[in-house]
A = this chain, B = another copy of it.
Amino acid sequence: MDPKASLTAPNAIREMIRAGDYSGPTNGFVPGFTQCNIVILPKAYAFDFQRYCQNNHDCCPLLATSVNDGEFHLDALGSNIDIRHDVPKYRVLRDGQLVDEVTDIKQIWREDFVTFALASYVAFDYVLNTYGFDTTTSSPAHTLPMYISNIPSLQVGPFKSNKVVCLRPMDTQEIIRAIQAGSISRVPHGIPVHFGNPAEIGINNLQKPNFGDPIFIPENKQPVFWTTSLTAHLAITRAAPELCIINSPQHMLVTDRPDMDLLIQ
């Protein structure tokens, strides 16, 4: 895949966003190219956050960290990324509280900022599609329902949170094949944490997700749960650093890296 092949290519999408011409969600854009959730923190919090991801890599799979403090490129994910502009919508959090939602963070960029890119659950939707799963089960364009489970992540410094999980309805054969697909592909967020009774992981009402949209579960299917990187966002809200910038939900960084390419490193 050539990341510059067409106007629907990652590079072209980032240029459009950088120019201020698009500020919407990135769901369904160039399936097969990795989209990332972004966390930008002052350096004082960066080591603990990185260590949190390292110790909770099932729910917070870190794909890249900016190499130098204050650096706004992420060469590991694309040659011309400028993280100050290339996300369609950012949330600015002060002391863990949302204070602003903006399309550009150049004005508030600081020399001590460190950028983290985390894998999104969307990559596994792409894998499931590749393995022939029905798009009603798994569509990269749909926002899955997400729930705050009762499964704790390992606390590191001020960062702790229960794991945020997403739901895909599947029948028994699909569950088996999905676990195979996750194991073979080794895509982040590819192995479920639970299926069957949602109450066992602290979810009492499937129709009221904490994030995303509710989903219809046919009678022959059961709810299957996978971790999502929203766990990291939740941990940050609770750690309440003086300043933090994250992408708005579903407004992710579109990278030049094919999902499959990340897996053969």
A154 near B55: Cβ-Cβ < 8 Å: no
Fill in one digit per residue for A132-174: 1 if any B CB lies within 8 Å of its CB, else 0.
Answer: 0000000000000000000000111100000000000000000
Q: Give the contact stretch, choosing among A22-30, A46-54, A88-96, A240-248.
A: A46-54
Q: Give the contact stretch, choosing among A13-21, A57-65, A194-202, A209-217.
A: A57-65
A54 near B62: Cβ-Cβ < 8 Å: yes
B154 near A67: Cβ-Cβ < 8 Å: yes
Question: A76 contacts the other chain (Cβ, under 8 Å)?
Answer: yes
A50, A58, A64, A155 pick with most chain B CB within 10 angstroms: A50
We find that the number of chain A residues with CB closer than 8 angstroms to chain B is 23
A190 to chain B minimum Cβ distance, whole angstroms, is 11
Complex alpha-carbon distance, A60 and B46, angstroms: 20
Complex alpha-carbon distance, A55 and B68, angstroms: 11
Q: Which of B65, B154, B183, B264 has a CB less than 8 Å from the CB of A51? A: B65
B57 near A265: Cβ-Cβ < 8 Å: yes
Fill in one digit per residue for A79-102: 1 if any B CB lies within 8 Å of its CB, else 0.
Answer: 000000000000000000000000
Given contacts A47-B50, A50-B51, 18 further A-B contacts (CB under 8 A): A43-B47, A46-B47, A47-B47, A50-B50, A51-B65, A51-B67, A54-B62, A54-B64, A54-B65, A55-B64, A55-B65, A55-B76, A57-B265, A67-B154, A67-B156, A68-B156, A183-B264, A186-B186
